[in-house]
Amino acid sequence: MVGGAHVVDGRSTSRWLILFTVIIGTFLGRLDQTIVNLALPKIISDFSISVSAAGWIGTAYILANAIFVPIWGKLGDTIGRKKVYLAGFGIFIVGSVLAGLAWNLGSMLVFRVLQAIASSADYPTAMAIISVTFRSQRERAQALGIWSTAFGASAVLGPLIGGPLIDVFGWRSVFFLNLPIGLIGMFMAIEFIHESKMPEGKRRFDWWGATSLGAALGALVLVLDKGVDWGWFSGNALACYAVIFVASWIFYIIEKTHPEPIVDFKFFSNSVFVSTLLNNFIVFMALMGSVFLVPIFAQTYLGYNATQSGLVFIPMAFGLLVAAPLGGFLIGKVKPAPVIVLSTAGAAFGLWLFTFLDPRSSLLDLMIPLLVMAFFMGFGMAQRTNAIAAAVSDKEIGVASGVLALVRNIAGAFGIALFATILQAVTNQNVLDIARSSVLNVHTPEAVAEFTSLITLKAQIAAYGTIYRLAAFLMLAGAVLAFRIQPPARKFSEPVIAEA
């Protein structure tokens, strides 16, 4: 017995209970991230704060999450993944209850940071737990594919659950919801997950490396999140660039000589690892940067409310839920590169379908591109994740998965910042171009106002088309890179089981 449960072996069905357990944790952490956004208008009203001030509730969460993902991954490899997973789960539950009791913006920011620090423990430890539980390459990939569906499900169920919950019970209920679900997930983790960690060597945690990495990531995510508002060459932005440069240089110097680095730079001499990271970066940058504009378009130009905008994403969840397991079952039957190439190219086609949007678009005009894009994205998700796991040794999976999660988070933040900036710049240029080629014959105040609004509307719609063409092009570039993803066929080693 280990931790109140039998140690799983390669044939035991209890390993699927372990998978279900980590899915609960992943789902809950991602659900919280999406559902809280719906509560912001109510929080703004209750705390009597501005929209700009409320934006820090999301920014603080993103910052803390990005900083601690690689740290938790290394810590899990060092002291034990089950310990770290349970610590993260427990802190998350406490942080959720405290956030539900928050009395002003300051207290909310502190408790959201606490939640984010705890939530960031889930991704690298969950991926490592799955990888050491499922030792067969094919089953491991299937498990990772099923696990990845939690991301899509949470993104869609967040708005669907959150809207009615907030309307009936108030915004605090979205935090209190984490208590019963979290306790169930924590009990299952105690009961079913067994301990695993690095098998040899003196385990020393790289605190200085963690600190310098945290400073660099914090400044990077902050400027990506606030750059559009600040201006990319403002004093605040320049200060962030300076911190990024200095902290990254210090981190590199530390990691080169530390016996147990947070990020082992030898990973980046591995062509499979690098190619998979680049594919993930491009895919998630294009995905997050373009998808976040969908509800904005729906509410601004199609007249949808928040609940209707959330319903638009149901096909996206369906596509992910169906395609991710299908892609996982192809592991061992088809080489990864063709699957990832097809997945990325298909997602590019889904994004290209958005270029036809206009103010007359129907609900199906939004749902079909999301379904196509999500299906192809989900189809290659297991292969992308498994390629990272296959490229490193078992004892390094926690660190490698932490790097993967970090790359995806930064890619998402970078994509949103990039596309928001391009959308604004292209809109402004379109206004000038359309105005030059337009003629107004009647110069009454009403006619001038209508003329101006029509030019602006046409410029904005055209800018969205430009954004989605750019996103599709980036996805295609990711498909080309995917040809280099050829993980070696290797026998996965036995996980090291630590006695509880």
Residues 98-131 pLDDT 10s: 999 999 988 998 899 899 888 888 877 887 788 7
**For residue 344, what pLDDT is reported?**
92
Asked whether the predicted pLDDT for residue 135 surpasses 60, the reply is yes
pLDDT, tens digit (0-9, with 9 covering 90-100), for 255-297: 888 777 767 777 777 787 888 888 888 888 888 777 778 877 8
Q: Any alpha helices (H) in 193-292, and if so which ranges?
A: 207-230, 235-257, 271-291
Give the whole-number percent of the chain exceeding pLDDT 70: 86
Q: 14-206+258-484, what's its fold?
A: Growth Hormone; Chain: A; (1.20.1250)
What does the pLDDT average to over 320-345? 82
Q: Are 422 and 470 in contact (CB under 8 A)?
A: yes
**pTM of the prediction?**
0.71
Asked whether the predicted pLDDT for residue 6 surpasses 60, the reply is no
Q: How far is CA 304 from CA 297, 301, 308, 309, 310, in A?
A: 9, 8, 6, 6, 10
More confident residue, 184 or 120: 184
**For residue 94, what pLDDT is reported?**
93
Asked whether the predicted pLDDT for residue 244 surpasses 70, the reply is yes
| Amino acid identity for residue 453 in this structure | S
Asked whether the predicted pLDDT for residue 411 surpasses 70, the reply is yes
**For residue 404, what pLDDT is reported?**
77
| φ/ψ of residue 121, rounded to 5 | -75, -20
The packing angle between helices 293-301 and 445-481, to 10°, is 160
pLDDT, tens digit (0-9, with 9 covering 90-100), for 34-92: 777 777 778 888 888 876 677 677 777 877 777 787 778 777 777 788 888 898 889 99
The alpha carbon dihedral of 254, 258, 261, 267 has a sign of: positive
pLDDT classification of 386: cutoffs 50, 70, 90: confident
**For residue 308, what pLDDT is reported?**
73
Which range (199-208, 313-322, 414-423, 427-436) has the least confidence? 199-208
Asked whether the predicted pLDDT for residue 239 surpasses 60, the reply is yes
Largest CA distance in the chain: 85
What whole-number distance in Å separates Cα of residue 405 and Cα of residue 291?
A: 19
Residue 465, C-beta contacts closer than 8 angstroms, at least 6 positions apart? 355, 357
**For residue 350, what pLDDT is reported?**
94
**For residue 224, what pLDDT is reported?**
76
Q: Among residues 305, 302, 212, 200, which one has the least CA distance to residue 255?
A: 212
**For residue 372, what pLDDT is reported?**
94
Asked whether the predicted pLDDT for residue 330 surpasses 50, the reply is yes
What whole-number distance in Å separates Cα of residue 428 and Cα of residue 143?
A: 47
pLDDT classification of 145: cutoffs 50, 70, 90: low
pLDDT classification of 500: cutoffs 50, 70, 90: very low
What whole-number distance in Å separates Cα of residue 67 and Cα of residue 197?
A: 22
Q: Are 286 and 415 in contact (CB under 8 A)?
A: yes
The packing angle between helices 14-47 and 137-169, to 10°, is 30
pLDDT, tens digit (0-9, with 9 covering 90-100), for 413-460: 778 778 877 888 888 888 888 888 777 776 777 777 777 778 888 888
Q: Are 145 and 381 in contact (CB under 8 A)?
A: yes
Q: Among residues 426, 58, 481, 475, which one has the least CA distance to residue 289?
A: 475
